Structure 1
């Protein structure tokens, strides 16, 4: 399913964040969103996650303006979109229970009861969606360990597994590796590519341009109040159409 923002404007009070931003997240692709800190990458992801409504413009999912449908329908759309924040926020419970959280809350009460019963069997057998998601980030062996005992990098991997476990159509990542060491970063990047192979559309906001080069199919450059360029990753990095893009990638201070 395509998630699309068209001519989106957003401001905090009298301070505009961006003006007229348009982009889409397509199934089975990784879209990298790069730009300096404070430019509005996180805000843009919140709009795409349907947490906040744009001041102007539209956000569409399955071709529908998500802020013109019923609240119930919008909730159904939101449940098909996963988001991983810069800092992992885990419950004081086992790793497995943390990953299962998203699976439970996206179900009706009757379905939750059936899920809890089936998950009891899965836990005994060491199987299930939560274990599969943990295996993707290399942590299946820690399923029964307390989440509070994990390192920061492991906690972020669990947060990724939690978003991946319920098989979303779209996965939004907000600087998911900004504070991680190279090993944990590599695991997250491999998991992003696995999500892509499953047909999930992924958008990752990152200040690490080398990361965008490694894993993104397309890159959007957010600078000032607008996206100044969007296109195939190789083209944006090697032959950008906008001189500001070239200078930003080269590390020149143009903002």
Structure 2
């Protein structure tokens, strides 16, 4: 599993959150909800091993990721995929965008072989790319240029790119922000498919109804840390912390 223990983070001595503990197992979906500015994106960046916390430990399969050398930490980081709030695609086809994650994880020899096959005109779309695009419902767009996609389609391509290299954990930062209902539903279906593939998924979202639909457990990030983390149904129907109850009921909590 990936585990945060008593994690705190500050930017320029300004605390973001403190004493945060969370574990994520393969094959479960954990939702992170809370008001804007409490540090949901920062928490995801710590889980992604992009950002070292100010205090506390981050473990992946029992290894303290900030106690190992850089090469081992890179190997651990490559087991984690992240989809950001806004899709960031290359000026290339959908297939080439989804292939990107596979290519950067190849050895130099594998990259050279692929380039030679490309020159010879003998390579097709890798099975992993086709499968990932099928999960997000975009196989018919495989040869289309990314700049011609709608916003919702671009976000689904970003999701497929993260799925293609078969991560152990997938982190989603507001994955359906400003998307229409159809694209939202397709991404939520893809989240369920990732869970079925034994991928551990963390979804940070402002949409509490989305967290209620897709998550097995929910963490409520308020003020200086989690007010509580627990099974989704209990969090939304019988929270144990008064701050959680107020947030769920729509009261402003900071």
TM-score, with normalisation over the residues of structure 2? Answer: 0.96
Equivalenced residue count is 252
Name the structure 2 match of 1:192: 191
> For structure 2, which runs of at least 5 residues remain unmatched after alignment?
none
- Deviation above 3 Å: which 4+ runs of structure 1? 114-122
The 1:139–1:228 alpha-carbon spacing in structure 2 relative to 1, beyond 3 Å, is same
- Structure 1: distance between partners of 2:110 and 2:68: 25
Residues 122 and 128, structure 1, Cα contact 8 Å, conserved in 2: no
Aligned counterpart, 1:49: 48
Equivalent in the alignment of 2:92: 93
Structure-2 change in CA distance of 1:121 and 1:195 (3 Å): farther
Gaps of 5+ in 1: none
Aligned residue number for residue 113 of structure 1: 112
- Structure 1 residues 118 and 7: CA distance shift in structure 2, 3 A: farther
1:161-172 equivalent positions in 2, closer than 5 A = 161-172=160-171
1:61-87 Cα offsets, whole Å, 9 max, x none, are 111000000100000000000000000
Q: CA deviation at 1:31?
A: 0.2
| TM-score (normalizing by structure 1) | 0.96
How far apart are the structure 1 equivalents of 2:166 and 2:38? 30
Q: Secondary structure of the residue that 1:207 maps to in structure 2?
A: coil
The alpha-carbon distance between structure 1 residues 197 and 118, as it changes in their structure 2 partners (threshold 3 A), is farther
- For residues 184 and 222 of structure 1, what CA distance do their matches in structure 2 show? 26
Q: CA RMSD in A?
A: 1.3
The equivalent of 1:210 in structure 2 is 209
TM-superposed deviation, 1:179: 1.3
